[in-house]
Amino acid sequence: MDNQQLWYLENIDVTGILCPQKMGNVHDTHATKSFKKGAYIYLQEEDADKIFFINEGRVKIGTNSEDGKEITKAILGPGEVFGELSLIGEDKRRDFAICMEETSVCIVTTTEMKGLMRDHTGLSGFMMKIMGSRVLEMESRLESLVFKDSRTRIIEFLLGLANTKGQRVGYETLVRKFMTHQEIANLTATSRQTVTTVLNDLRTRNILTFDRRRLLIRDLELLTAEKETV
């Protein structure tokens, strides 16, 4: 389970606050909306006046450079929030949000969210934790891009995925809904071919196995050792 999800489950029922209609509250004013795979939830330069909480599905957050190249910033799943920069004065979206599969989100206006944060101290802490962790993640990715080679970046990405999304199964670590090689390449600033080469090498040496539905890391210590010997 994602560490952020674990944090809020132990401290605050975010789902109950943001999507109370699921809890049977007929007075709820927050909208829950479903999107099909490939649908945009918002585009760059649109008004930034809403915050989104993922109930089901996966969402890619990305941006397009001036030369038309797409840059993937994050791939988010159930229990995660996006669009939060509107809370600190963002007027227009700097990125886009697109559904990678059928997705259901709870939509809360920025004004509503600010009111909820005043009423729920734990929600304020939750949002601060999300924004802080994303700044740290982007700094880490930038440092990795500057100072580390492609193989190291891919291995560190797999370790991060295991730590944030993985489930322990005996001595192994299981990550469900594994990403495509192109998605990993976009997130690590490498090529799809390089990702395929690294993953196939790790699978041949029985450090991990994978398919379109899951990643199974047989031994995290062995995978960590791969990073240290690169």
| Residues 50-60: tens digit of each pLDDT | 999 999 999 99
pLDDT, tens only, 101-126: 999 999 999 998 888 888 877 788 77
Query: Residue 189 is encoded by which pair of tokens?
Result: 């600033």
Contacts of 82 (CB under 8 A, 6+ apart): 51, 52, 54, 59, 61, 74, 76, 97
> Which range is least confidently modeled, 2-16, 143-157, 186-200?
2-16
Fill in the amino acid letter for 85: L
Mean pLDDT for 29-42 is: 88
| CATH architecture entry for 148-229 | Orthogonal Bundle (1.10)
Report the percent of the chain where pLDDT is more than 90: 44
Using CA of residue 33, residue 39, residue 42, residue 46, what is the dihedral sign?
negative
Element (H, E) at 113: helix 110-119
Cβ(82)–Cβ(76) under 8 Å?
Answer: yes
pLDDT at residue 216 is higher than 80 = yes
**pLDDT at position 14, please?**
62
Contacts of 66 (CB under 8 A, 6+ apart): none
**pLDDT at position 8, please?**
37
Which regions of the chain carry the CATH code 1.10.10.10?
A: 148-229
Average pLDDT in the chain: 83
Query: Residue 99 is encoded by which pair of tokens?
Result: 């559904």
The CA R_g of the chain, rounded to the nearest whole Å, is 19
**pLDDT at position 2, please?**
44
Q: pTM to 2 decimals?
A: 0.74
pLDDT, tens only, 68-99: 788 888 899 888 889 988 888 889 999 999 99
Which regions of the chain carry the CATH code 2.60.120.10?
A: 3-139
Cα–Cα distance list, 113 to 86, 136, 145, 176, 218 (Å): 10, 23, 35, 31, 42
Strand bridging mode 103-109 / 70-76: unpaired
Query: Which residue's structure tokens are 């789902």?
Result: 15
**pLDDT at position 123, please?**
81
Q: In the CATH hierarchy, which fold is given to the domain comprising 3-139?
A: Jelly Rolls (2.60.120)
